[in-house]
Amino acid sequence: MRELAPQVLGALVRRYGQFDACEDAVQEALLAAAQKWPAEGVPDNPRSWLTTVASRRLVDEWRSESARRRREETAAALELPVQSAPSDRDDTLTLLFLCCHPSLSAPSQLALTLRAVGGLTTAEIASAFLVPESTMAQRISRAKDRIRSAGATFTMPPASERGDRLRVVLQVLYLVFNEGYTSSSGPDLNRADLTAEAIRLARMLHELVPEEGEAAGLLALMLLTDARRAARTTAGGSIVPLDEQDRRLWNSNQIEEGVAILTRTLGRVPVGPYQMQAAIAAVHDEAPSAKDTDWPQILALYEVLERISPGPVVTLNRAVALAMVSGPRAGLALLGTLDGDGRMAHTHRLESVRGHLLEQAGDLVAARESYRKAARMTASIPEQRYLALRAAHLP
């Protein structure tokens, strides 16, 4: 049912204009369907059922005086150019661009995309982000107001802006994925669902724009990363680092799919950071054991990544690969170039990696100090426990 949400919304906005009111109407239609369909059975044409119910809600809403006034006020701003027989494909893509409009803050882009494109209810999104439902409702409503005041309409961005706008969409989907990329135990279950939703939306985007290498790269990266989910944490929720994971628990179907997407993509389109990160994940995923990992290959890939998308986090990861190829001291020397980099001042990652490399180098006292420092800096509880334990295991 949820894959119909953007199609129904697209059809409605095209007919009536007024994205925000249509979006509310579709949400109500989805809620009605969730109540009725399980009992009465799925209608023969679910899409036309949803469109009819949503249209009726919209008309009901417009019959009220105040709403009509509001409509008149905003009609001019939302006047839509008439388009000839647009496809669902275009509608869904247009919707993604609109929900990830650059005038919105990242939390608003996430929330609106999950509701309007993902078809999730406000309650579901609120529970995934652990905020009250009224807060999430308000965030979505504000996002729609802001889109309106920014003068954005339900039209495809011009070709000249499309690259930049697509980058924002990819970033939003990646953030959704990361939010869910956490232990799948206890109260975190809800957030794990966000990972599945991010993969579903990335898959949809890749099908909409198969020629875009970075959309393919992002989907591959998500599949190749999420493939390790079952091995990444213990039953008690503790983190298991990559080199200690039981690789038999990795999801081989997802790895196969991710590698296939990557193979189809690499070399045919301009290379981008998501493709490179996916390629690195693929090298890890295809290694039969941690010690059989092709580290020279990973180091070479990080060097390419650093050329096309330089930044301290890439340097940090390259230091890990360099340590595996040329020894921990070489990695530590590269890490040293990040000391004093303001962008690393508020993240635990530098000290966490330094701890691992110092441990490998046999400097256990300094390693323990780095792990402890990192444990104080992280904002993730499982990670804090992991780092504190790592420090405690050292003499």
| Residues found near another protein in the complex (CB under 8 A) | 105-108, 111, 129-132, 134-142, 178-183, 191, 232, 239, 241-242, 349, 352, 378-384, 386
Give min distance, CB of 17 to another protein, in A.
25
Is the CB of 4 or the CB of 111 nearer to another protein?
A: 111
Is the CB of 75 or the CB of 242 nearer to another protein?
A: 242
Hey, what amino acid is at 237? G
Is the CB of 39 or the CB of 379 nearer to another protein?
A: 379
Q: Which of 216, 218, 307 is nearest to 263 (CA)?
A: 216
- In DSSP terms, 233 is beta-bridged to 239
Give min distance, CB of 50 to another protein, in A.
26
Q: Is the separation of the CB atoms in 219 and 281 below 8 Å?
A: no
Hey, what amino acid is at 11? A
For 111, the token pair is: 């929330």
The Cβ of residue 347 has, within 10 Å, a number of other Cβ atoms equal to 16
Give min distance, CB of 208 to another protein, in A.
27
Give min distance, CB of 242 to another protein, in A.
7
Give min distance, CB of 141 to another protein, in A.
8
Is the CB of 7 or the CB of 229 nearer to another protein?
A: 229
Q: How far apart are the first and last CA of the chain?
A: 56
Give min distance, CB of 294 to another protein, in A.
20
Is the CB of 68 or the CB of 376 nearer to another protein?
A: 376
Question: CA-CA distance, 316 to 318, in Å (whole number)?
Answer: 5
The Cβ of residue 267 has, within 10 Å, a number of other Cβ atoms equal to 9
Is the CB of 139 or the CB of 372 nearer to another protein?
A: 139
The Cβ of residue 286 has, within 10 Å, a number of other Cβ atoms equal to 14
Give min distance, CB of 178 to another protein, in A.
5
DSSP H or E stretch at residue 381: helix 381-392
Is the CB of 223 or the CB of 375 nearer to another protein?
A: 375
Question: CA-CA distance, 347 to 375, in Å (whole number)?
Answer: 10
Q: For residue 158, what is the DSSP state?
A: P
Give min distance, CB of 268 to another protein, in A.
31
Q: Which of 101, 79, 88, 92 is nearest to 17 (CA)?
A: 79
* Cα→Cα distances 219→94, 147, 242, Å: 19, 27, 21
- Four-CA torsion 316, 318, 321, 326, nearest 10 degrees: -100
Is the CB of 244 or the CB of 339 nearer to another protein?
A: 244
